[in-house]
Amino acid sequence: MPRVTTIPATISAITRSPLNASKKRKVAAYARVSTEMEEQANSYEAQIDYYTGYIKSREDWEFAGIYTDEGISGTSTAHREGFKKMIETALAGKIDLIVTKSVSRFARNTVDSLVTIRKLKEAGIEVFFEKEAIWTFDGKGELLITIMSSLAQEESRSISENVTWGKRKQFKDGKVEMPYGQFLGYIKGPDGRPSIDEAQAEIVREIYNCCLLGKGPAAIANGLMGRGILSPGGKKKWYPNTIQSILQNEKYTGNAILQKTFSPDFLSKKRQRNNGEVPMYYVEDSHPAIISKEVFDLVQAEIKHRDEVRIKCGETLFLGRVFCEECGSSFGPKVWHSTDKYRRIVWRCNSKYERGTRCSTGHVTEEQLKDAFSRAVRILLSDKDRTMSGLKVILAKALNTGMLEDQIGKASDELDEVGKLTLSLYSECVSAPIDQQREESLGERYRILNDRVAELKARLDERNRSAVRIRSFLKAMESQDAVIDGFDVGLWNTLGDRMIVSKDSSIRVVFKDSSEVRIGLNNR
């Protein structure tokens, strides 16, 4: 029978260090709290003090530091800088053991927790979870970690669902919250609702006015930076997308669309645009308005127009703003003699050769367009006081909407009455045949009144938009000198709306207040 002699192990299969070595283990601790509440902050400080003393009190341990994350969620390791630095340090061989309060402090995501622990284990680094008394080198450690991590993850899911439910309940109740530190124009009022910060509100109004006067986001941003005005986040640098966001945020009208974005995954917490996956809520008059609804709508129309004609930096100023008087199509730049020394760019009706009957409007050059606008502005400013007086009269008429509002009110009341009569007619047909002639008569009357109300409201909206345009135009005129020497890009963006080319060698220059000046062209 063979004789077997046992040779005892002298090196740890996991740490690869001698089993009887007197070398101290390099031990670090990890502390984290997930909120910035005062009681959590106290817990955070307590964890640091406790583990510093705990590690240093052990003679067989060498203190390797405390790694911390404050106010960071544990559902993912993606943004936990302290945690990531600790793992990097450990894998570099500078930590043998990591001590932490519990599995939930380490991570609330089962996958993150197990992947990290296995990576550390392969490198001979152990983790000790004090609350659960789990050592990851223990034979049953990984099973216990899996169970505990799953429980922690479910707890995180439950908390996330409760928070989401609470937020959606606030949305349904019409409660509006704003990130005040990043939201220009509002501060948190004493009642907890948004309150206007007048100094910032003036900047918001200026941004909207600049857009209506033709300036793009980049030009507006550069203008604000040139004057040293700080961004919503208090930075010197303004970005065009910040301006665009301000111009398209309905909260400046005193109304709010809630739940524009949502987080489908409670682990990653990554937010995505709500395209109908969850309900949205539109809250009217939720807080004081900085911008009128009319101004906001005008700005959205201007942004839409720019998108439609694809106005980009470097493209011509006239793209999408020059039209054919004969057929109504837009003019576009065309290259003539593109391959020889006679190369030139002219503007021509885009539909000139697309119709059965050829459009007879001729072409113009960009120099002629610039000259026509410059001459039109000089005519407009030649009698500046008279022009502005006339505009003020037009503005007063546009603002006098009392009669129109009365007509809308009367037509709406009559519409409601016809609706009630129709309902009464249908209720009577339960016991007797319906009077079809009366039904048709009421239906026709309802359609006529409904169209009438829609028409009157459209006229009222146009009056309001016209008033906004005239106000902006007057403001620009007040600061403009009468002397115009050549084409000015700023004036075109400020005062010009469009130009209409006719076949009789003239251009109608239409200004933003809807006034027109016809300019004759001598040459083509």
> Is residue 131 domain-shared with residue 194, that is, in the same domain?
no
68-69-75 Cα angle (round to 5):
130
Look at residue 290 and tell me if it is in a domain.
yes
Q: Is residue 459 part of a domain?
A: yes
Residue 41 clears pLDDT 60, i.e. is over it? no
Average pLDDT estimate for 315-319: 70
Among 140-144, 146-150, 172-176, the least confident range: 172-176
DSSP 3-state assignment of 432? coil
Q: Is the pLDDT of residue 247 over 60?
A: yes
Residue entry with tokens 């302290």 = 82
pTM of the model: 0.44
The CATH code of the domain that includes 49 is 3.40.50.1390
- 489 and 399 both lie in a single domain: yes
Domain boundary among 308, 342, 374: 308
Given a contact cutoff of 8 angstroms between Cβ atoms, the answer to whether 287 and 176 are in contact is yes
pLDDT band at 99 (very low <50, low <70, confident <90, very high): very high
Has residue 266 got a pLDDT over 50? no
Map residue 310 onto helix, strand or coil: coil
pLDDT at residue number 238: 92
Above 70 in pLDDT, residue 17?
no
Does 330 lie in the same domain as 299?
A: no
Pair (192, 129) in one structural domain: no
- At 2, the pLDDT band (50, 70, 90 cuts) reads confident
94 vs 158, residue with greater confidence: 94
* Percent of the chain predicted with pLDDT > 70: 71
Higher pLDDT, 376 or 118: 376
Residues 66 and 117 in one domain: yes
Q: Are 383 and 499 in the same domain? A: yes
What 3-state DSSP class applies to 253? helix
Kindly state the average pLDDT of the residues 242-251.
88
Task: Report the range of poorest mean pLDDT among 54-68, 169-183, 277-291, 489-503.
Answer: 169-183
Quick one: pLDDT at residue 28? 94
Grade residue 372 by pLDDT with cuts at 50, 70 and 90: very high
Q: Which helix (H) or strand (E) holds 478?
A: helix 436-478
313: pLDDT strictly greater than 50: no
For the record, the structure tokens of 307 come out as: 């998108």
Count of domains for the chain: 3
Please check the confidence at residue 418 and state whether its pLDDT lies above 90: no
Q: Are residues 424 and 462 in the same domain?
A: yes
The per-residue pLDDT for range 21-35, each reduced to its tens digit, is 567 899 999 987 654
- Is 290 in the same domain as 345? no
Residues 243, 109 share a domain: no
Q: How high is the pLDDT of residue 175?
A: 63
Specify the higher pLDDT residue, 363 or 424: 363
- Residue after which a domain boundary falls, among 308, 333, 350: 308
351 and 243 in one domain? no
The answer to whether residue 315 sits within a structural domain is no
As a whole number of angstroms, the longest Cα–Cα distance in the chain is: 125
* 416 part of a folded domain: yes
Average pLDDT over residues 226-250: 89
Q: What is the mean pLDDT of residues 304-326?
A: 70
Q: Is residue 86 a part of any domain in this protein?
A: yes
- Statement: residue 508 has pLDDT above 90: yes
Residue 261 belongs to some domain of the structure: yes
Going along 109-236, which residue ranges are E strands?
Answer: 126-129, 134-135, 186-188, 194-196
- Cβ-contact 336, 345 below 8 angstroms: yes
Residue 10, pLDDT above cutoff 60 = no
Q: How confident is the model at residue 484 (pLDDT cuts 50, 70, 90)?
A: low
CB proximity list for 418: less than 8 A, separation 6 or greater: 442, 445, 446, 449
Question: Lowest mean pLDDT: which of 165-169, 378-382, 472-476, 479-483?
Answer: 165-169
Q: What percent of the chain has pLDDT over 90?
A: 13
Q: Please choose, from the candidates 422, 374, 385, 371, the residue with its C-alpha nearest in 3D space to the C-alpha of residue 524.
A: 371
State whether 266 and 333 are in the same domain.
Answer: no
* Mean pLDDT on 179-201: 84
* Cβ–Cβ under 8 Å, residues 148 and 132: yes
Last residue of a domain, one of 308, 336, 354: 308
> Which pLDDT band holds residue 268 (cuts at 50, 70, 90)?
very low
Closest CA to 367 of 351, 345, 338, 335: 345
The predicted pLDDT at position 16 comes to: 43
pLDDT tens-digit series, residues 375-399: 988 888 777 777 778 777 777 877 7
Are 299 and 331 members of one domain? no
Cα–Cα distance, 425 to 199 (Å, whole number): 58
In a domain, 166, yes or no: no
The verdict on residue 479 lying in a domain is yes
- Distance between CA atoms of 272 and 260, rounded to whole angstroms? 9
215: CATH: 3.90.1750.20
Which pLDDT does position 264 carry in this prediction? Answer: 52
| pLDDT per position as a tens digit, 272-290 | 665 655 566 667 777 888 8
Which residues span the domain enclosing 31? 25-159
